[in-house]
Structure 1
Amino acid sequence: MDLLHLSNLIKTIDWESFLTPVWLSLKVSLIASIIVLLLGISAAWWMTNKRFFGKTFVETTFMLPLVLPPTVVGFILLMLLGRRSWIGQSLEWLYGRTVIFSWGAAVIAAVVVSFPLVYQTLKVGFSSVQQDYVDAARSSGASEWQVLRFITLPLSARSLMTAYLLGFARALGEFGATLMIAGNIPGKTQTIPTAIYVAAQSDHMGLAWLWTLGVVIISFILMLVVRKKGEEQH
């Protein structure tokens, strides 16, 4: 795309329609990244400090969304949250509507696919905390919550930041699972990746390029911060 074409496109674009998927993607990514960070902290703390039968199996399950095709993840979520499952029926009874094909479904998809990255980053960070500090706190009568809050989390601050940024970036780029369970409803569930897909399919390449450029810029900035944090750790 040349600069003249880009300039003409910017002048004729419907900015409300253009920005709607952007705001929805940012909202979904923000909520999903907070949820997955809390889940990741709990899971990483548990797996770092507990020994139990089947631990390898549990951890493998945690990491599965990282290697499974997104459409497979989306199909599993669709079966779990759809009206034919007791989970889906319970959620529909609780909220008065189905979760499928709502922006909440996009949040769920983003949480699931970004969890492995967040979990693994936090686990590495927690494992790097010197055990002497943890043992000293426990021998002084500190509870597990106090050890986590006052010892492990402060000493893993950089890993926490890195995990959050990775979770946000992964949620922002989620496509396959989101399309399966949230659909592509303009103004309701259409995120940037699904909007790019539709724009490319309908030969609106200018819009597709603008959305793509926005995602690339945001993702580049996030990854640049992650790299800087990683260099600071060393």
Structure 2
Amino acid sequence: MFLLHRHPLKGGKVHDLDTEKDDLLSMGEKAMFIEHPTDPANRPKLNQVSKWDLPWAGITKLPYTITGPYLKTLFDKVFIDGLHNPMQRPNAEEWEIALLKTTDLMQKYHNVSCEQKWYVFDNTNTPRCPFCNTAHKGTLPVLDLYYQFQETTWKPENHRLMVYNDQYLFQWHVNRNIARNEKLTAAQKVPVGYFTFFNDKWVFVNQKLTSLKDVTEDKEIPIGTMLELTDGKKILLSKEEGGRVIVVTMANK
């Protein structure tokens, strides 16, 4: 309800003419996700909802999948797999990780007539804002995070960072041993660099990383210098234990 401004179980299906009984059934024994992928019985009826509930009540235009891949997976576990089987529902830590990963997928949008201003990247090569349906203009760097599985083997972490003008990079992106939680030190909360669109190119400006390396070009990137982001480029963020590699994909080319 915080994210999508609608109740996940209160749809168009009526279980009993008695309002109190109907509410007990729809919230309990007969509960059904309003966006169940194979059973549309509880879809909201837009001709029965208040105008104040629009546009959020319109699940066709604004489906729960606009929250991004990480939260979508957990919503499936809660409202489909685990709705009547609590043991299948995700725990609090899974929610925290998914929410934090989702913030890294947020993309700033500059359509002045769009109320939202931000949206979650949908992992397509031609992204558009789901709220105003306007296509993104210009290239869009997408950074996939990798960790060192073995000495010569790097594996994807199922974690992406979207780039926008003046987006910051933090220690918790650089090193997988640093968790983004309440235990962060003051020093760990300080950005280590930032991304910007400069001279018609996307670049990363290194402010604090002592072992930043352009792996593709086999070139060290000292503090105070910048690195251009190009499609397919591999960048080592840190040589320390837990240090990550990012791989750049240029969407919307």
Mark yes or no: TM-score above 0.5.
Answer: no
Higher strand share: 2
* The structure with more helix, counted as a fraction of residues: 1
Larger Rg computed on CA atoms: 2
TM-score normalized by structure 2? 0.25
With a CA cutoff of 8 Å and minimum separation of 6, indicate the structure with the bigger relative contact order: 1
